């Protein structure tokens, strides 16, 4: 628009475990059961602590050790052929960056025709920004995989760690707090770089996944934004207060079934922080696991169509500058 400067925002996907769950993949609850060794916990007891504190409890505060012991189970498996197809449709949308909270590699497997990934394959894709002399062993703020896809390469950031590097996996409040400290220290050191680069060149250099989160048009898919993910809630607050022109944030989830006097507090909080909430005309599926999985598959197909439209609108806006 005349008289208003428009900046180029990277198109960024924040991908959670939802698509994997819709095709029979493991849940965070299953991972908690797998790493449970605390003898003081009765069998099948119901735990209500937030996930990071729950991990400390069930492992007897040996989270890092238990993750090393179950490391080989965290690579992810592709069963239903529709799983890989949906992930490839996701990649086809043309994101500039993919951020994922998953430790596993379903996306990488889908990109190579549902073939399981290997350590050698992942090492070949590993990259890091100029912020470090080598790829980080833990707290992967500047480390990513450069995933070949079609005629381009897509940076995939495992923001909470990956199965190949047990020390990098963020599970437990101690590790979340250390990661957040690394993020805040890095951003403080960057000063007003985002705004300065936008004024100088119209875009921002992505040196970390936090940069992509803050400056990009962010599309949140298959990620529930649990309140325990306090590093990402902090970044949402920072994004709203950012001095530079930050991109928009879009959160996709089926609408919850609630009474007239009930509200979805999490979605209300997301809106307070400037997030656009999209239900895609879908209600959260009910019924058994099979019925739910089919309903969620329909939801993800609808969400991808809506994301495509939003990305096209963003591209048209950038062309108007």
SS3 of residue 221 by DSSP? strand
SS3 of residue 101 by DSSP? coil
pLDDT tens digits, residue range 186-233?
Answer: 999 999 999 999 999 999 999 999 999 999 999 999 999 998 899 999
User: What predicted TM-score, i.e. pTM, was given to this entire model?
Assistant: 0.92
pLDDT tens digits, residue range 13-47?
Answer: 999 999 999 998 877 777 777 878 888 888 778 88
| One-letter-per-residue 3-state SS of 295-319 | HHHHHHHHHHHHHHHHHHHHHHHHH
Q: Which two tokens stand for residue 139?
A: 């707290």
SS3 of residue 288 by DSSP? coil
Residue 256 within a domain: yes
Residue 218 within a domain: yes
The pLDDT score that the predictor gives to residue 4 is 53
DSSP string, 58-74: HHTS-HHHHHHHTGGGG
SS3 of residue 112 by DSSP? coil
The pLDDT score that the predictor gives to residue 320 is 45
Q: Are 192 and 161 in contact (CB under 8 A)?
A: no
What are the residues whose beta carbons fall under 8 Å from the beta carbon of 183, sequence distance 6 or more? 141, 210, 231, 234, 235
Q: Which two tokens stand for residue 296?
A: 């969620």
CA 70/CA 32 separation, integer angstroms: 11
Q: Which H or E run includes 143?
A: strand 143-149
Residue 239 within a domain: yes
Cα 319–Cα 272–Cα 283 angle in degrees, nearest 5:
85
The pLDDT score that the predictor gives to residue 316 is 61
Handedness of CA 100, 104, 107, 111 (dihedral sign): positive
Residue 122 within a domain: yes
User: Above 60 in pLDDT, residue 291?
Assistant: yes
The pLDDT score that the predictor gives to residue 47 is 85
* Count of domains for the chain: 1
pLDDT tens digits, residue range 151-188?
Answer: 999 999 999 999 999 899 998 889 999 999 999 999 99
Q: Which two tokens stand for residue 117?
A: 């990934």
The pLDDT score that the predictor gives to residue 1 is 34
Q: Residue 244 belongs to what domain range?
A: 11-319
What is the end-to-end Cα distance of the chain in Å, rounded? Answer: 7
Band (6; pLDDT cuts 50, 70, 90)? low
Q: Which two tokens stand for residue 291?
A: 């019925």
Residue 217 within a domain: yes
Sole residue written with tokens 């500058």:
321
SS3 of residue 100 by DSSP? strand
pLDDT tens digits, residue range 85-128?
Answer: 999 999 999 999 999 999 999 999 999 998 888 999 999 999 99
Q: Which two tokens stand for residue 256?
A: 């919850």
Residue 6 within a domain: no
Q: In the chain, which ranges are E strands? A: 11-15, 97-100, 126-128, 143-149, 152-158, 217-221, 249-252, 276-278
Phi/psi of residue 155, nearest 5 degrees: -70, 125
Residue 50 within a domain: yes
CA 68/CA 51 separation, integer angstroms: 18
Q: Which H or E run includes 88?
A: helix 81-91
- As a whole number, the mean pLDDT across the chain is 90
SS3 of residue 276 by DSSP? strand
CA 72/CA 84 separation, integer angstroms: 20
The pLDDT score that the predictor gives to residue 2 is 39
Residue 5 within a domain: no
């Amino acid at each position: 628009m005349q008289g208003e400067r428009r900046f180029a925002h990277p198109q960024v996907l924040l991908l959670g475990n939802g698509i994997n769950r819709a095709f029979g993949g493991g849940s965070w609850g299953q991972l908690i059961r797998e790493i449970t060794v605390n003898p003081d916990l009765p069998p099948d007891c119901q735990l209500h602590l937030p996930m990071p504190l729950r991990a400390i409890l069930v492992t007897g505060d040996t989270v890092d050790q238990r993750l090393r012991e179950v490391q080989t189970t965290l690579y992810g498996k592709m069963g239903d052929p529709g799983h890989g197809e949906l992930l490839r449709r996701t990649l086809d949308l043309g994101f500039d960056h993919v951020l994922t909270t998953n430790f596993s590699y379903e996306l990488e497997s889908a990109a190579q025709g549902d073939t399981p990934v290997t350590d050698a394959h992942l090492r070949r894709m590993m990259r890091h920004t100029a912020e470090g002399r080598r790829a980080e062993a833990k707290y992967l703020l500047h480390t990513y995989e450069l995933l070949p896809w079609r005629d381009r390469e897509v940076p995939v950031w495992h923001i909470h760690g990956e199965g190949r590097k047990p020390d990098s996996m963020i599970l437990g409040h101690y590790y979340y707090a250390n990661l957040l400290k690394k993020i805040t220290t890095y951003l403080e050191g960057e000063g007003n770089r985002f705004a300065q680069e936008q004024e100088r060149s119209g875009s921002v250099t992505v040196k970390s996944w936090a940069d992509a989160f803050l400056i990009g048009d962010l599309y949140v898919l298959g990620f529930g934004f649990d309140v325990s993910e306090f590093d990402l809630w902090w970044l949402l607050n920072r994004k709203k207060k950012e001095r530079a022109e930050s991109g928009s944030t879009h959160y996709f989830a089926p609408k919850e079934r609630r009474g007239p006097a009930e509200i979805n507090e999490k979605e209300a909080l997301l809106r307070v922080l400037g997030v656009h909430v999209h239900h895609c005309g879908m209600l959260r599926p009910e019924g058994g696991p099979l019925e739910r999985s089919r309903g969620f598959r329909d939801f993800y197909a609808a969400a991808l169509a809506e994301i495509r439209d939003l990305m096209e609108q963003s591209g048209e806006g950038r062309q108007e500058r």
